[in-house]
Amino acid sequence: MSQTGSVISLEHDTPELARSYDEAGLVQFRHGKFLIGPLAIKSGEHVLDIGTGTGRLAEFVTGLVGPNGRVTGIDPLAGRIEIARLRQSDNLQFDTGRAEDLSRFADGQFDAVYLNSVFHWIADKDRALREIRRVLKPGGRLGLNVQDPSRPHQSRVLLRQAIAEAGLADRRQDSNPVLGSTDEELKALFAANGFTGYRSELRALVDIHDDAASLLRWSEASAFGNFLEAFSATERNLVHQAFAKLVEDRRTPEGLSLERYLRFAFARKAPASN
């Protein structure tokens, strides 16, 4: 996946990052439930989780579809699918795969498709949305959440400041690539790819971390290694030190409190015409 000036690689992921992601997965799981609610998933439905990670949210959705429904989770990272498969059951299956190529699935196979903190990693968003529309039933629902570049996470703002304080600001653009979308961009993308009833909302989410080290580990795991990759080990250490000092201003009795901002967007595939 790539865009001009940024490169997102799947090659940086490691078993250690996958385990860290699963251990800290409650962060993604909590805001994932905000995504699942408006999709109104019902018993007996077939649901596709794109970018399922280690499968925690897909396992939750399996409880909503019940024994007569089915949930399929795909992710391009084999190490995370290996962990997800520990959650498999008769109506919950996992496999490697990506949004841009859903050719293994039939037209109109799913009642709902969702992408939880995934869409901002996809470079070819048009292709992904065309594929999602194809595998949805007429009237099927799509839900996703995405980073909005007009409202960066507090941790990203502090990271940029830390990079500048470490004297590395000239290389900041490559430090943590993300391919987010604004409301206007999402609305245009959905319309261009045959979705109707678009609606979105920017939500502020508060995360509590024990310390700067745990926050940085989570950031690296959630970006599957695409985090400060432009810097040497010595340079990363300088950034980490500066970042640790900056985030201490966010300390509360519960821990370091930082806000993340995600845009939640929903739409439908147009119903079949009579």
Q: Does some domain include residue 207?
A: yes
- CATH number of 33's domain: 3.40.50.150
Q: Are 255 and 206 in contact (CB under 8 A)?
A: no
For the stretch 21-61, pLDDT in tens is 555 556 667 778 999 999 999 999 999 999 998 899 999 99
Domain count, the chain: 1
Q: State residue 1's pLDDT score.
A: 29
8 Å CB contact between 200 and 142: no
Say if 49 falls within a structural domain.
Answer: yes
Does residue 164 sit within a domain? yes
3-state secondary structure 131-197: HHHHHEEEEEEEEEEEECCCCCCHHHHHHHHHHHHCCCHHHHHHCCCCCCCCHHHHHHHHHHCCEEE
Whether 110 maps to a domain, the answer reads yes
Question: Contact, 155 vs 260, CB < 8 A?
Answer: yes
The span from the CA of 146 to the CA of 117, in Å, is 6
Residues of the chain with pLDDT under 70: 1-28, 171-178, 218, 220-228, 273-274
Structure-block tokens of residue 154: 């507090």
Query: 227: closest CA among 165, 168, 167, 159?
Result: 159
Residue 38's domain comprises 2-269
Specify if 274 maps to a domain: no
DSSP structure string for 67-108: TT-EEEEEES-HHHHHHHGGG-BTTEEEEE-BTTB-TTSPTT
Q: Is residue 176 part of a domain?
A: yes
pTM over 0.85: no
Domain membership of residue 35 (yes or no) is yes
Locate 214 and state its tokens.
């745990």
Distance of CA 204 to the CA centre of its chain: 15
Residue 79 lies in a domain: yes
* pLDDT, position 115: 97
- pLDDT value of residue 252: 92
